[in-house]
């Protein structure tokens, strides 16, 4: 009998890629998403890409804070585990609207955990973030590195991590894996699903992609005086399909390791790449010139962040398969086939 997984936020960027890998791995999947930052077209495309496994996917438009609606979902299916992606993730917006972030991310998670507990479903994979390493004094960041919230978004991740540790301490039946993603980029190799941010992109790759398709005139490079090889910020970019596979590995760990309590793993490649290196790789993959405007540092940015991957490699038996070249190739494949994302048309709010 195949296992049933509830995926919150499964219509989003990382969620949709993970749902596809789950279906192809033989899992049954129920997605709940309020579609605040995503499109149901992504779910339809995932079902198509999954071929015969597409029949094992269902999805419901639900806000996680709607406890009655969530309870109905749990009453109709016995879930073996939950992967919890749903949340707001824009750092700048979280500084402007902290209550909105605390309400959505914390109340949503607490409601989910309450409903899970009430239905005896106590296996959870949670999307945390490398943002909780703050401005690392040392790289690579290991799972033991000090944690620090640089903004309300990051604080929601830290608080949820603590909530998870607390509930597991209080009830050892809980088995929880906290995954700290570094910088997810790229898209499924079909070019049929990918990242489709609303409004002006906050992150580097979606911005580069929109310059390449002519939606924006130039990329602003934030900071050219960092103590790095070329003065620009260094990050650990990870292909979203590798990241999605990391969730399957985490689920296997939850199902197979009876001793696991609440455990944390970095999901990254362990390699640092600068902004200018990323631009050069994208230009090579796309054949497009990306005009640059050199600017000062973006407030709050760290100089160099990359992961130690040793723990995930050893304990989850997972490692990345794709490098920068494939990330840029697949990002461009998605962008060139879907220059305006899932809606297919210019969005006047941009
Ligand atoms: P995304 O915005 O594409 O996906 C999140 C999904 O959650 C969206 O589909 C949104 O509609 C849904 N959602 C938000 N609040 C909800 C609520 N209250 N009820 C139901 N659905 C809700 O983001 P993503 O990039 O796929 O990120 C997924 C998770 O990974 C998030 O928790 C994010 O914080 C975390 N994360 C993302 C990154 C990144 O760079 N993309 C890095 C580290 C961690
Ligand atoms: C990468 C590099 C920028 C945009 C963010 C969140 C983090 C996590 C991942 C969710 C930096 C530079 C960027 C641009 C630029 N998300 N840059 N011009 O800041 O590492 O992490 O996404 O958890 O929480 O903070 O990613 O893609 O924004 O930036 O020069 O237009 O690109 O300065 O050096 P970041 P990013």
State the CB neighbour count (10 A cutoff) for residue 78: 11
Among 46, 87, 25, 80, which Cα is nearest to 255's?
Answer: 80
- Please tell me the distance between residue 197's alpha carbon and the centre of ligand 2 in angstroms: 14
**Residues 152 and 291 reside in one and the same domain:** no
Residue 346: its pLDDT value, please?
A: 76
Among 49, 5, 59, 45, which Cα is nearest to 24's?
Answer: 49
> Quick one: which atom of ligand 1 is closest to the CA of 65?
18
Could you say which ligand is closest to the alpha carbon of residue 105?
Answer: 1
Asked whether residue 347 carries a pLDDT value surpassing 90, the answer given is no
Could you say which ligand is closest to the alpha carbon of residue 156?
Answer: 1
**Residues 167 and 39 reside in one and the same domain:** yes
266, 141 in Cβ contact below 8 A? yes
335, 212 in Cβ contact below 8 A? yes
Mean pLDDT across 247-265: 98
Q: Does 90 sit in the ligand 1 pocket, CB within 6 Å?
A: no
**Residues 249 and 294 reside in one and the same domain:** no
**Residues 175 and 314 reside in one and the same domain:** no
- pLDDT tens-place string over residues 266-315: 999 999 999 999 999 999 999 999 999 999 999 999 999 999 999 999 99
**Residues 257 and 121 reside in one and the same domain:** yes
The answer to whether 153 is a known catalytic residue is yes
Mean pLDDT across 63-85: 98
Question: Residue 64 and residue 12: Cα distance in Å, rounded?
Answer: 14
Helix (H), strand (E) at residue 58: strand 57-61
- Please tell me the distance between residue 225's alpha carbon and the centre of ligand 2 in angstroms: 16
346, 340 in Cβ contact below 8 A? yes
Asked whether residue 219 carries a pLDDT value surpassing 70, the answer given is yes
Confidence of residue 348 (pLDDT cuts 50, 70, 90): low
Overall number of domains in the chain? 2
Asked whether residue 239 carries a pLDDT value surpassing 70, the answer given is yes
Residue 89: its pLDDT value, please?
A: 97
**Residues 73 and 160 reside in one and the same domain:** yes
Let me know if residue 346 belongs to a domain.
Answer: no
Among 13, 101, 153, 181, the one annotated catalytic: 153
**Residues 81 and 128 reside in one and the same domain:** yes
* CATH number of the domain encompassing residue 224: 3.90.25.10
Residue 53: its pLDDT value, please?
A: 98
- Backbone phi, psi, residue 319, to 5°: -150, 160
**Residues 139 and 214 reside in one and the same domain:** no
Residue 350: its pLDDT value, please?
A: 47
Q: How many residues does the chain have?
A: 350
**Residues 277 and 217 reside in one and the same domain:** yes
**Residues 287 and 258 reside in one and the same domain:** no
Helix (H), strand (E) at residue 235: strand 234-235
Average of per-residue pLDDT values in the chain: 97
Q: What percent of the chain has pLDDT over 90?
A: 97
Mean pLDDT across 204-231: 98
**Residues 218 and 241 reside in one and the same domain:** no
Count CA atoms closer than 13 A to 296's CA, side-chain side. 2
Could you say which ligand is closest to the alpha carbon of residue 88?
Answer: 1
Asked whether residue 251 carries a pLDDT value surpassing 80, the answer given is yes
Asked whether residue 349 carries a pLDDT value surpassing 60, the answer given is no
> Quick one: which atom of ligand 2 is closest to the CA of 181?
23
Q: Does 132 sit in the ligand 2 pocket, CB within 6 Å?
A: no
Poorest-pLDDT segment among 22-36, 51-65, 222-236, 333-347: 333-347
Let me know if residue 216 belongs to a domain.
Answer: yes
Full residue range of the structural domain in which residue 210 is found: 204-235+270-337
Let me know if residue 20 belongs to a domain.
Answer: yes
Geometric angle at alpha carbon 134, from 176 and 277, rounded to 5°: 105
Q: Which residue has the tokens 């799972």?
A: 143
Asked whether residue 114 carries a pLDDT value surpassing 90, the answer given is yes
Let me know if residue 51 belongs to a domain.
Answer: yes
The residue out of 247, 267, 287 marking a domain boundary is 267
Question: Residue 315 and residue 302: Cα distance in Å, rounded?
Answer: 28
The residue whose CA has the least distance to atom 33 of ligand 2 is: 222
Beta-carbon contacts of 129 under 8 Å, excluding residues fewer than 6 positions away, are 89, 154, 157, 180, 181
Confidence of residue 73 (pLDDT cuts 50, 70, 90): very high
**Residues 165 and 309 reside in one and the same domain:** no
Let me know if residue 192 belongs to a domain.
Answer: no
* CATH number of the domain encompassing residue 61: 3.40.50.720
Geometric angle at alpha carbon 346, from 332 and 104, rounded to 5°: 85
77, 29 in Cβ contact below 8 A? no
Among 31, 26, 39, which Cα is nearest to 9's?
Answer: 31
- Please tell me the distance between residue 313's alpha carbon and the centre of ligand 2 in angstroms: 25
């Amino acid at each position: 009998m195949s296992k049933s997984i509830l995926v919150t936020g499964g219509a989003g960027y990382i969620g949709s890629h993970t749902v596809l890998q789950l279906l192809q791995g033989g899992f049954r999947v129920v997605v709940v998403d309020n579609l605040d930052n995503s499109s149901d077209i992504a779910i339809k495309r995932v079902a198509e890409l999954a071929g015969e496994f597409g029949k094992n996917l269902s999805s419901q438009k639900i806000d996680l804070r709607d406890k009655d609606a969530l309870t109905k979902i749990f009453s109709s299916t016995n879930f073996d585990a939950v992967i919890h992606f749903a949340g707001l993730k824009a750092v700048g917006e979280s500084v402007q609207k902290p209550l909105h972030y605390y309400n959505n991310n914390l109340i949503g998670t607490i409601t989910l955990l309450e409903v899970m507990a009430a239905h005896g479903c106590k296996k959870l994979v949670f999307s945390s973030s490398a943002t909780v390493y703050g401005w690392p004094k040392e790289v690579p960041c290991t799972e033991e590195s000090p944690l620090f919230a640089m903004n309300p978004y990051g604080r929601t991740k830290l608080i949820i991590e603590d909530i998870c540790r607390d509930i597991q301490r209080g009830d050892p039946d809980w088995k929880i894996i906290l995954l700290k993603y570094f910088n997810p980029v790229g898209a499924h190799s079909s070019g049929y699903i990918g990242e489709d941010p609303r409004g002006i992109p906050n992150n580097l790759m979606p911005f580069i992609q929109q310059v390449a398709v002519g939606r924006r005139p130039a990329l602003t490079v934030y900071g050219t005086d960092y103590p790095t090889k070329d003065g620009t910020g260094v990050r650990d970019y990870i292909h979203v399909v590798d990241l999605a596979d990391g969730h399957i590995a985490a689920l296997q760990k939850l199902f197979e390791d009876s001793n696991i309590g609440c455990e944390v793993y970095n999901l990254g490649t362990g390699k640092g790449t600068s902004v200018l290196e990323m631009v050069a790789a994208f230009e090579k993959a796309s054949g497009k010139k990306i005009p640059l405007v050199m600017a000062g540092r973006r407030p709050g940015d760290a100089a160099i962040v990359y992961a130690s991957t040793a723990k995930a490699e050893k304990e989850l038996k997972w490692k990345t398969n794709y490098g920068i070249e494939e990330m840029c190739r697949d990002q461009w494949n998605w962008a060139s086939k879907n220059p305006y994302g899932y809606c297919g048309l210019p969005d006047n709010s941009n």
